[in-house]
Amino acid sequence: MAVNFVVNELLCFVKFHYGKVPKGDILTCVNGFCTYEEVSQAKKLIFQLLDGIEPKVSDPPRCITRKESNNKRHLESEDILGVLGML
């Protein structure tokens, strides 16, 4: 059985600190240090990984495409934390 490794700095940071640091502090760090593109790429990646999990996750969250706005990075960061919270 082959194992795929995916390395994403933002997802590693969030996964390491999730459950140890308050959610608001994680969001502040991600929104302060990561670009819009990095957050969007991490969100797409975590939803792709979620689709590939066996056995399938029951009632997974939807991957919502956010429109360009001042709040987009924060909302997508919250989406990432939502998926991690569900897993």
> Residue 2: what pLDDT?
61
The dihedrals phi and psi of 21, each to the nearest 5 degrees, come to -125, 145
Rounded to whole angstroms, how far apart are CA atoms 16 and 55?
24
> Residue 86: what pLDDT?
76
- 40-45: average pLDDT: 89
Distance of CA 67 to the CA centre of its chain: 17
The share of the chain scoring above pLDDT 70, in percent, equals 74
What are the residues whose beta carbons fall under 8 Å from the beta carbon of 79, sequence distance 6 or more?
Answer: 43, 61, 63, 64
Q: What angle do CA 15, 50, 81 make, to 5 degrees?
A: 35
| pLDDT tens digit sequence for 7-35 | 789 999 999 999 899 999 999 999 899 88
User: How is residue 70 annotated by DSSP?
Assistant: T
Which pTM does this prediction carry? 0.77
